[in-house]
């Protein structure tokens, strides 16, 4: 047999390579960001999806599409690749490139010139993950073959699908979107779909988390939305001018939908509410495919295309002025109004209202008001408040009787006294809208005014949308007026700058009034008018937001949020939070609600810190159970600064949450996978009276595998539900320094706690059942006060638990040493005094020493992660460091504990007594690595606190109290020191320049009693990064702070590399 020659073999292999391409052997799965552009990574839709199908997905993929038109002649293959849990995000290349109309002439757009009925996108992908498609336009070209459907989710598709802010245009046949996968989440919203046979078709039941919301479906030959009698949820959809707008709704749920025919009537749904059948809308230029709602239609609903979100606009009042609720404030801030006169809704005929189903009508001499003292804390211009920024928007129709007369619109103004002027929006006697602002104690002779240049027509027939923006920081004023009759802005915006600040410190406190501006027993400036949808914000918004507000004609989005400040519902779902530092603020933060933060959370790729402002957040809906994977990282929830921790137990300061739930969902349900740490500290949570109590405020779920720390928090119930319930056995759980009260059980232990877990230094008060129910489970309980709970049963079922130094109240022996498997030092049947119990301010006054246990609020625990040393200075362990860092001391002299009589100790059972020239020390080399000022250490930040009772021999003498300072080396011996001067003032020194120099902060008030009988609590801190030092001293005899805190920016940073032998 003859073999091939070498050249022939090469040629043969070459031919094989052509016939059998080997690309797939070396295919690299897609991961990262790609571009679709005429000169991008891809130049066609088909090419991108074919790569997805052929090469697979190896990580999150983002496709940025350029703002241009792409002509597509061939559809991609059906996509059957596994997403493997990743996200595939299709979007415009920038936020400015979203479609701004429905004519498929803007934004990234695809023109289909197909010759077969293949789908533009057919998803049939197994595995979990998320496909997000947003901001594209797809148009079937005239004369081409229409896809059977533009986007089709097949029954084997298993990943979540989101389609939003897209435009789909057909040619009278086929479907826009068809859904045939029952098990996954489909979110279809804010789209414009028109010109098909069916706009949206549901071919299978939708999952419970799926929804179709805020879509506009127009001009379809059969159905706008065909639900095929499948279970599904529809909210805020417009179906208009279709042969049948909605079809087969028997098993579907519908809220706030609208149709031209009667097919969306409430009765047609399984559950239906506030649907609007048989409505007439106006669309612009339907012959030119520009099918957008005009902004001046009575029932206009935000079309959902091209708008951006204003999630945190600091909403203060929203008066919808609907017939049945004319005076109600719907913002949640309880700024509802009181009527003066017999005020009615506008007539139900003609152009009688602009938003919802009605408006208010004022006759001459009629107005609304709310007393200043009852306004919400951040209402603009509230007397004594801190907020002076303002945005006001309102629909206004002045009557003939208001022509060429002064007329109030809204404001806080009492012009009758010349001393009650804060701010006012009004109409002048030349029919021009103006904004006035008082200053110099509100004197209206000193007020500043800005008037629009164009006059209103006052005939009872012309509606205007009036927007006023005032920025107190810059003095900027903007007045924008929309003329609804003309369908255009009236004249030009009036822009001005005021030179003085708004002044709310008026000698005469004026009320907030609508349709007038002062009352002196007459009816001046209350003129006949109609108003609708009055909104007040305590932020200076932008003019574009005023346009957005004007276009809002329906009330809520898919999540029940007011569309005036949630134009892009669910925007965070596309970018899950996985690492970094974010803020929770009432206004201007990354988040404005507890629920939004937790619902945003994704699998962590790094540590996350949530900084919460010290304001009240009203929560109406709980977050879903948190099931994301921590992946070994830390999720840290805390106040925005150390000054913002709760200082009392009445939930009135610090970051605080009021739950107004209608269901028993938990405030936080932790069910997180993977290792890691969740730390929550310094927040208050109160169950609002009359609302539904969560089953528990915080629930650590049986499947939760991460460590949980809850510290320095306040939880207040309504005598039912639990404060904290833990059911997870494996992770470490630390609950300490919390205040819990008015629950059924404050703490319920449902499983044996791990060896590293503990409950320590908590104060629990006034629970109906038990303070702590250990449920016969093992665990460690230390220094907890459980008082006034149940029927003599503060602790329950503790026979398998360890208990040390806990305390119960009168006639309550439940924490006695004999009730635990092992115990010591527990105190029973003790009487403590709490301050203002009737007002829910439950703090311990200083009880007698042998009952003194830290009440837990505002203190740091001995288990605090940053604690470097804790010297309890107890009689049997005078030198021991209890922090776990082995910084125990050595005595110089025969040091003893204080005598066992008199006020000899402040904590637990004793204290240390130093005679002259006695002291403790530890060598620098033996200090823990994180000890402040240790030689060569990177830790140069310091906080120290201790009880100090100076003896008479210290009077008039320089006295060292605590230090890292070797005095034998003189000026080269300073790192840090706390010292009492010869004039009895406390100093904190910080050394620098190799110890040769030191700067100090000295407390301004001297210690006044150096007789061995007066205790002081001294606190000192130094922040090395800012060089900020602070001293605070508590005078125990006076039961008050001594003077005020002393603070100073010191000259230099702490130096831990001194030119001397390191001191102890």
Please check the confidence at residue 24 and state whether its pLDDT lies above 70. Answer: no
What's the rounded mean pLDDT across residues 815-843?
Answer: 74
Question: Measuring CA to CA, which residue among 141, 211, 152 is closest to residue 176?
Answer: 152
Over residues 563-596, the pLDDT tens digits come to 333 333 333 333 457 788 888 988 767 788 898 8
What's the rounded mean pLDDT across residues 90-111?
Answer: 82
Q: Token digits for 316?
A: 């203060």
DSSP class of 16: H
What's the rounded mean pLDDT across residues 683-706?
Answer: 83
Give me the half-sphere count of Cα atoms (radius 13 Å) on the Cβ side of residue 25. 4
CA distance linking residue 412 with residue 368, whole number of Å: 12
CA distance linking residue 517 with residue 523, whole number of Å: 10
- Confidence class of residue 850 from pLDDT cuts 50, 70 and 90? very low
What's the rounded mean pLDDT across residues 76-87?
Answer: 88
CB 225 within 8 A of CB 178: no
Share of the chain above pLDDT 70, in %: 82
Q: What dihedral angle (degrees, nearest 10) is formed by the CA atoms of 529, 432, 391, 562? A: 40
The angle at the Cα of 870, spanning 867 to 874, to the nearest 5 degrees, equals 165
- Confidence class of residue 839 from pLDDT cuts 50, 70 and 90? very low
What's the rounded mean pLDDT across residues 1000-1020?
Answer: 89
What's the rounded mean pLDDT across residues 195-208?
Answer: 86
DSSP bridge partners of 556 = 562
Residue 970, class by beta-carbon neighbours within 10 Å (0-12 exposed, 13-18 middle, 19+ buried)?
exposed
Helix, strand, or coil (residue 267): helix
Please check the confidence at residue 301 and state whether its pLDDT lies above 50. Answer: no
Over residues 699-736, the pLDDT tens digits come to 876 667 788 999 889 999 888 888 898 876 667 888 98
Q: So what's the pLDDT on residue 889?
A: 92
Q: So what's the pLDDT on residue 969?
A: 59
CA distance linking residue 34 with residue 62, whole number of Å: 6
Q: So what's the pLDDT on residue 347?
A: 61
Q: So what's the pLDDT on residue 351?
A: 64
What's the rounded mean pLDDT across residues 599-614?
Answer: 86
CA distance linking residue 765 with residue 464, whole number of Å: 56
Please check the confidence at residue 273 and state whether its pLDDT lies above 60. Answer: yes
Whole-number mean pLDDT of the chain?
Answer: 80
Range scoring the smallest mean pLDDT among 92-96, 410-414, 488-492, 565-569: 565-569
Q: So what's the pLDDT on residue 471?
A: 92
Question: Measuring CA to CA, which residue among 566, 537, 527 is closest to residue 396?
Answer: 527
Q: So what's the pLDDT on residue 834?
A: 67
Please check the confidence at residue 541 and state whether its pLDDT lies above 90. Answer: no
* Spatial strand order in the sheet of 216-218: 69-72, 109-112, 137-140, 167-169, 192-194, 216-218, 238-240, 258-259
CB 837 within 8 A of CB 860: no
H or E stretch including 770?
Answer: strand 770-773
Residue partners of 612: CB distance under 8 A and separation at least 6: 583, 584, 585, 637, 638, 639, 640, 655, 683
Question: The tokens 């010292």 sit on which residue?
Answer: 979
CA distance linking residue 877 with residue 897, whole number of Å: 10
β-pairing verdict for 87-92 and 130-134: parallel
Range scoring the smallest mean pLDDT among 146-150, 440-444, 828-832: 440-444
CA distance linking residue 553 with residue 564, whole number of Å: 9
CA distance linking residue 510 with residue 383, whole number of Å: 8
β-pairing verdict for 137-140 and 244-247: unpaired
Q: Token digits for 127?
A: 């595995």
Q: Token digits for 845?
A: 């006054």
Q: So what's the pLDDT on residue 873?
A: 86
Question: What backbone phi and psi angles, to 5 degrees, belong to 54?
Answer: -85, -30
DSSP assignment string, 894-949: --EEPPSSSS--SSTT--EE--TT-EEE--GGGS-TTSTT-TT-S---EEEEEEE-
CB 971 within 8 A of CB 995: yes
Please give the radius of gyration of the chain, using alpha carbons only, rounded to the nearest integer: 35
- Confidence class of residue 313 from pLDDT cuts 50, 70 and 90? very low
Query: Could you tell me which residue, 1032 or 971, shows the higher pLDDT?
Result: 1032
CA distance linking residue 651 with residue 686, whole number of Å: 7
CA distance linking residue 506 with residue 3, whole number of Å: 108
Over residues 27-70, the pLDDT tens digits come to 689 999 999 999 999 999 999 999 999 999 998 899 999 999 99
CA distance linking residue 804 with residue 782, whole number of Å: 5
Q: So what's the pLDDT on residue 255?
A: 78
Share of the chain above pLDDT 90, in %: 32
Over residues 911-956, the pLDDT tens digits come to 888 888 888 889 888 898 888 888 877 788 888 999 998 888 888 8
What's the rounded mean pLDDT across residues 220-225?
Answer: 95
What's the rounded mean pLDDT across residues 1014-1025?
Answer: 90
DSSP class of 848: -
Q: So what's the pLDDT on residue 558?
A: 29
* Residue spans of beta strands (DSSP E) within 344-398: 344-345, 360-362, 367-370, 390-398
What's the rounded mean pLDDT across residues 131-154?
Answer: 88
DSSP bridge partners of 419 = none
- Confidence class of residue 820 from pLDDT cuts 50, 70 and 90? very high
Query: Could you tell me which residue, 1057 or 72, shows the higher pLDDT?
Result: 72
- Whether the CA torsion 999, 1005, 1008, 1013 is positive or negative: it is negative
**pTM of the predicted model, to two decimals?**
0.41
DSSP assignment string, 520-587: SSS-TT---EEEEEEEEESS---HHHHHHHHH--S-B-TTS-BTTS-SSTTGGGGS-B-SEEEEE-SB
Residue 986, class by beta-carbon neighbours within 10 Å (0-12 exposed, 13-18 middle, 19+ buried)?
buried
CA distance linking residue 801 with residue 843, whole number of Å: 27
β-pairing verdict for 216-218 and 238-240: parallel
What's the rounded mean pLDDT across residues 91-98?
Answer: 78
CA distance linking residue 824 with residue 817, whole number of Å: 6
Q: So what's the pLDDT on residue 287?
A: 46
661-664 long-range contacts (CB < 8 A, ≥24 apart) are 661/619, 661/620, 661/621, 661/622, 661/691, 661/692, 661/693, 661/694, 662/620, 662/691, 662/692, 663/622, 663/692, 664/692, 664/693, 664/694, 664/695, 664/721
- Cα–Cα distance list, 185 to 135, 232, 343, 382 (Å): 20, 11, 47, 46
- Confidence class of residue 753 from pLDDT cuts 50, 70 and 90? confident
DSSP assignment string, 655-719: SEEEE--SS---SEEE--BSS-EEEEES-EEEEPTTSPPPSEEEEE-TT--SEEEEES-EEE-SS
- Confidence class of residue 617 from pLDDT cuts 50, 70 and 90? very high
């Amino acid at each position: 047999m003859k073999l091939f020659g070498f050249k022939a073999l090469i040629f043969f292999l070459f031919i094989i390579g052509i016939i059998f391409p080997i690309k797939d052997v070396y295919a690299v799965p897609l991961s990262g960001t790609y571009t679709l552009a005429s000169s991008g990574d891809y130049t066609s839709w088909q090419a991108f999806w074919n790569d997805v199908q052929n090469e697979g997905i190896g990580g999150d993929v983002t496709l940025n599409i350029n703002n241009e038109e792409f002509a597509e002649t061939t559809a991609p293959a059906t996509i059957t690749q596994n997403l493997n849990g990743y996200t595939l995000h299709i979007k415009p290349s920038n936020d400015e490139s979203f479609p701004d109309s429905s004519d498929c002439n803007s934004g990234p757009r695809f023109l289909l010139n197909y010759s077969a009925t293949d789908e533009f996108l057919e998803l049939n992908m197994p595995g979990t993950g998320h496909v997000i498609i947003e901001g594209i336009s797809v148009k079937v070209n005239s004369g081409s073959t229409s896809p059977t459907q533009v986007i089709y989710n097949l029954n084997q598709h298993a990943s979540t699908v989101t389609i939003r802010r897209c435009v789909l245009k057909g040619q009278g046949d086929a479907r826009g979107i068809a859904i045939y996968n029952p098990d996954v989440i489909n979110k279809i919203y804010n789209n414009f779909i028109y010109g098909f046979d069916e706009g949206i078709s549901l071919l299978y039941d939708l999952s419970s988390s799926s929804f179709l919301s805020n879509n506009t479906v127009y001009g379809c030959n059969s159905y706008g939305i065909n639900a095929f009698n499948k279970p599904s949820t529809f909210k805020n959809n417009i179906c208009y001018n279709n042969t049948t707008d909605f079809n087969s709704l028997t098993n579907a749920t519908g809220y706030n939908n609208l149709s031209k025919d009667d097919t969306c009537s409430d009765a047609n749904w399984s559950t239906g509410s506030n649907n609007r059948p048989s409505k007439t809308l106006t669309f612009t230029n339907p012959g030119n495919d520009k099918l957008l709602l005009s902004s001046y239609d009575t029932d206009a609903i935000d079309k959902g295309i091209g708008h951006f979100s204003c999630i945190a606009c600091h909403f203060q009042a929203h008066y919808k002025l609907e017939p049945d609720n004319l005076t109600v404030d719907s913002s949640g801030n309880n700024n509802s109004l009181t009527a003066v006169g017999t005020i009615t809704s506008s007539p139900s005929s003609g152009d009688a209202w602009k938003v919802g189903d009605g408006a208010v009508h004022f006759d001459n001499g009629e107005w609304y008001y709310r007393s200043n003292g009852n306004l919400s804390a951040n209402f603009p211009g509230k007397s004594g408040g801190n907020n002076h920024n303002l945005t006001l928007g309102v629909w206004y129709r002045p009557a003939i009787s208001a022509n060429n007369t002064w007329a109030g619109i809204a404001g806080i103004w009492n012009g009758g006294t010349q001393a009650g002027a804060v701010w006012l929006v009004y109409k002048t006697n030349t029919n021009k809208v103006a904004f006035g602002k008082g200053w110099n104690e509100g004197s209206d002779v000193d007020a500043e005014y800005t008037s629009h240049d164009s006059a209103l027509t006052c005939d009872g027939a012309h509606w205007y949308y009036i927007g006023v923006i005032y920025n107190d920081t810059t003095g900027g004023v903007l007045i924008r007026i929309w003329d609804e009759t003309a369908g255009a802005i009236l004249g030009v915006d009036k822009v001005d700058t005021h030179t003085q600040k708004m002044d709310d410190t008026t000698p005469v406190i004026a009320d907030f009034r609508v349709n007038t501006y002062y009352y002196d027993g007459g009816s001046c400036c209350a003129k006949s008018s109609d108003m609708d949808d009055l909104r007040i914000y305590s932020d200076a918004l932008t003019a574009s937001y005023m346009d957005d507000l004007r276009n809002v004609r329906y009330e809520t989005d898919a999540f029940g949020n007011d569309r005036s400040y949630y134009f892009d519902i669910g925007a965070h779902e596309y970018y899950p939070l996985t690492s970094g530092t974010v803020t929770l603020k009432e206004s201007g933060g990354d988040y404005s609600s507890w629920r939004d933060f937790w619902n945003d959370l994704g699998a962590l790729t790094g540590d996350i810190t949530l900084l919460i402002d010290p304001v009240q957040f009203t929560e109406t809906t709980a977050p879903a159970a948190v099931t994301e994977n921590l992946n070994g990282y830390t999720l840290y929830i805390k106040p925005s600064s150390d000054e913002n921790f709760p200082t009392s137990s009445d939930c009135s300061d610090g970051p605080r949450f009021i739950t107004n739930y209608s269901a028993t969902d938990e405030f936080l349900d932790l069910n997180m996978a993977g290792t890691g740490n969740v730390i929550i500290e310094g927040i208050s949570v109160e169950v609002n009276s009359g609302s539904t109590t969560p089953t528990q405020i915080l629930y650590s779920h049986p499947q939760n595998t991460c460590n949980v720390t809850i510290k320095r928090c306040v939880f207040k119930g309504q005598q039912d539900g639990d404060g904290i319930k833990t059911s997870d056995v494996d992770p470490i759980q630390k609950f300490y320094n919390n205040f819990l009260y008015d629950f059924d059980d404050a703490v319920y232990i449902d499983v044996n706690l791990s060896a590293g877990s503990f409950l320590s230094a908590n104060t629990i008060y006034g629970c109906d059942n038990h303070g702590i129910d250990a449920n016969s489970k093992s665990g460690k309980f230390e220094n907890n006060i459980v008082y006034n709970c149940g029927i003599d049963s503060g602790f329950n079922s503790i026979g398998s638990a360890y208990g040390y130094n806990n305390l119960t109240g009168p006639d309550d022996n439940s924490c006695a040493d004999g009730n635990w498997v092992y115990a010591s030092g527990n105190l029973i049947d003790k009487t403590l005094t709490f301050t203002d119990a009737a007002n829910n301010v439950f703090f311990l006054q200083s009880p007698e020493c042998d009952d003194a246990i830290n009440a837990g609020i505002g203190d740091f625990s001995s288990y605090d992660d940053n604690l470097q040393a804790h010297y309890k200075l107890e009689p049997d362990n005078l030198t021991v460091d209890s922090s776990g860092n082995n910084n125990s001391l050595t005595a110089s002299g025969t040091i003893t504990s204080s005598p066992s009589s008199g006020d000899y100790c402040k904590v637990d059972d004793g204290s240390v007594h130093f005679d002259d020239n006695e002291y403790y020390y530890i060598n620098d080399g033996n200090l823990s690595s994180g000890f402040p000022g240790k030689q060569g250490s990177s830790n140069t930040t310091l906080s120290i606190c201790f009880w100090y009772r100076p003896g008479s021999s210290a009077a008039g003498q320089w006295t060292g109290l605590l230090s890292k300072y070797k005095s034998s080396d003189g000026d080269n011996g300073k790192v840090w020191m706390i010292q009492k001067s010869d004039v009895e003032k406390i100093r904190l020194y910080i050394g620098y320049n190799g110890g040769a120099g030191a700067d100090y902060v000295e407390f301004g008030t001297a210690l006044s009693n150096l007789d061995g009988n007066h205790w002081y609590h001294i606190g000192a801190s130094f922040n090395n990064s800012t060089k900020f030092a602070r001293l605070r001293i508590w005078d125990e005899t006076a039961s008050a702070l001594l003077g005020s805190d002393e603070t100073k920016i010191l000259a230099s940073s702490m130096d831990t590399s001194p030119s001397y032998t390191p001191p102890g």
